[in-house]
Structure 1
Amino acid sequence: MSGGVGPASDISLPKDEPSPPQNLPPKITPKQTTPLGFFTFRQLNSLAFMLVLSASGMISLQDFTVVIFSTIYIFFLSKFSFPKQSITQEQPVFNQKSKILTTYILFAAVIGLFLPILYIFEGILEGDKEGIKAAVPHVFLLASQVFMEGVSASCRFSLPIRVFVPVFYNSVRMFTLIEWLKDEFLRFGGGGEGLSRRLVVGRGLAVANFGLWSFNLFGFLLPVYLPKALQRYYGGNGTNASSSKGD
């Protein structure tokens, strides 16, 4: 799972392989088989989280609107602004074997998705609905981001479109993270040791996620991932070359 960092789907794109000899059947690789022919297990897991959280009744109409708008807008951008190029022109931005990036993605998935999900499920079991209502929008939008990153990779959208998904969702989630922080530090525990412990854990998760996703947006996506992807996209279709001739 990408954890919403952004380039996980980009670094895992399969490379072009030579065609098999005509007298042999085509080779089927694991990446070509998905549970439903289109969705991967990562996307199905994210979709399941989205449905469970939606059923909880704690997802606002505004959060649903964000998902619907992003879905429509990426198809609009892919049609009129950043059309898809050939696969050979759009190679992955980052090295597929980068241990640093892989560790970073795993760390973001644990802090940003898995631990908040456990925190929310424990709150549901303990009847602490008020304590988890501020964390639910962040997890819902992050699961939606992971799902849409998978869609943009599966449909072979252009690099700028694959960048737009994490940048857009990360930007929107900054507002939900601020609300989560405000809610955690304005409420007070009481009624036993369990709630006090949950209050400490909730505040720790809110602070950790705000710091993580602030760095991800302002320290990685915007200054690193976005420029590299745009340079790769425009450099691949000869824009730089044509502009240099005009000079």
Structure 2
Amino acid sequence: MSGGVGPTGNDITLPKDDEAKPTATASATATATSGKSAGFLSFRQLNALAVIIVLSASGMVSPEDFAFVIFSVIYVYFLAKVAFPTLSSSSEPPVFDPKNRTLRLYVWAAAIIGLFLPIAYIFEGIFEGDKEGIRAAAPHVFLLSSQVFMEGLVFSHRFSTPLRVFVPVFYNSRRIFTLVDWLKSEISKVEDEYGGSTRRLHVGRALAAINMALWCFNLFGFLLPFYLPKAFKKYYSGFKVKD
């Protein structure tokens, strides 16, 4: 998920199917529910895909966000062929120790804050008639679910370590802008004119602010200064050994 904290530090990835990895993006709905496979797609990916389809069918996803996801799929395959080929036929080892308890805790916390709570917020908004709040939160949830789906894709022997870090960095960078819009939307609500409850008004503002802080830290405090350099060092040292 969203987030940059999976087995190899990828954004919110929770337990992988064939490896006991804390992957989320985290990631980032049932990203954190199970690591069992369901055919070609993992259970985690199927849950993320369900969220993607529901939000898309609801009309709450902008054409720009659709285009971003499609472009990310195409570009990942382009990079896999042109810039970052795999070093071997087997899956490359994770960058970080998947048994690290602090990392696993961070993954689960990011999954809850980044995906589960916003989804609950959207569902509650349907009952309260808060169309503005739903519309503001939906892009973040859609992109984080797409990120979870993509992370499940790149964590296979077909893709190298740099592409595993590319997905969380790429999506996390894009989601910062959707979070800014969400936070602005929540702050701009006038209580006298707001259709939902006062409790929902405060919860929405707190949730948007916490997600903004979490994913800014994830990008600027973890992915870019730690995960990215470590992943590239591991990848290019593998090239030297292979040569």
Match of residue 175 from structure 1: 177
Gaps of 5+ in 1: 16-29, 243-247
| CA–CA distance in structure 1, aligned partners of residues 182 and 195 of structure 2 | 22
Aligned positions of 1:104-123 closer than 5 A: 104-123=106-125
CA distance in 2, matches of 1:218, 1:230: 17
Amino acid at match of 1:75: Y
Aligned letter for 2:146? Answer: S
1:7-26 to 2 correspondences below 5 Å: 7-8=5-6, 10=8, 12=16, 14=19
Please tell me whether the aligned partners of residues 89 and 237 of structure 1 are also in contact (alpha carbons under 8 angstroms). Answer: no
Q: What does 1:40-59 correspond to in 2, within 5 Å? A: 40-59=42-61
> How far 1:129 moved relative to its partner?
1.0
Residues of 2 paired with 1:112 and 1:77: CA distance?
Answer: 28
| Equivalent residue number for residue 90 of structure 1 | 92
Q: Which residue of 1 aligns with 2:37?
A: 34
Q: Cα 1:196–1:86, aligned 2, differ >3 Å: closer, same or farther?
A: same
The number of equivalent residue pairs is: 223
User: Which SS does the other structure have where 2:98 is aligned?
Assistant: coil
The answer to whether the 8 A contact 1:152-1:161 is kept is yes
Moved more, 99-108 or 194-203: 194-203
Deviation at 1:86? 1.3
* Gaps in structure 2 of 5+ consecutive residues: 10-15, 21-33
* Separation in 1, partners of 2:184, 2:232: 36
The aligned runs of 1:154-169 (5 Å cut-off) are: 154=156, 156-169=158-171
2:129 corresponds to: 127
- How far apart are 1:201 and its partner, in Å? 0.5
d(CA) in 1 for partners of 2:238 and 2:156? Answer: 21
Structure 1 contact 181–203 (Cα < 8 Å) conserved: yes
Name the structure, 1 or 2, with higher relative contact order (CA <8 Å, separation 6+).
1
1:73 counterpart residue number: 75
The structure-2 alpha-carbon separation of the partners of 1:192 and 1:177, relative to structure 1 and needing over 3 Å to count, comes to closer
TM-score (norm 2): 0.85
Deviation for aligned residue 1:155: 5.3
Distance 1:176 1:191 in 2: 24
> Aligned with 1:85: secondary structure?
coil
TM-score under structure 1 normalisation?
0.84
Residues 186-223 of structure 1: per-residue CA shift (max 9 Å, x gap): 11224789521111010000100000000000000000
Residue in 2 aligned with 1:27? none
Decide whether the 8 Å contact of 1:89 with 1:236 is kept in 2: no
Query: Amino acid of the residue matched to residue 154 of structure 2?
Result: S
Q: Percent identity?
A: 57
1:23 alignment counterpart:
none
Q: Distance in 1 between matches of 2:102 and 2:158?
A: 25
Offset at residue 132 of structure 1 (A): 1.7
In the alignment, the residues of structure 2 paired with residue 225 and residue 118 of structure 1 have an alpha-carbon distance, to the nearest angstrom, of 30
1:16-40, CA deviations, whole angstroms, 9 ceiling, x for partnerless residues? Answer: xxxxxxxxxxxxxx97x721x2100
One-letter amino acid matched to 1:195: S
Check if 1:6 corresponds to 2:4.
Answer: yes
Give the number of the structure whose alpha-carbon radius of gyration is greater: 1
Aligned equivalents of 2:218, 2:178: Cα separation in 1: 15
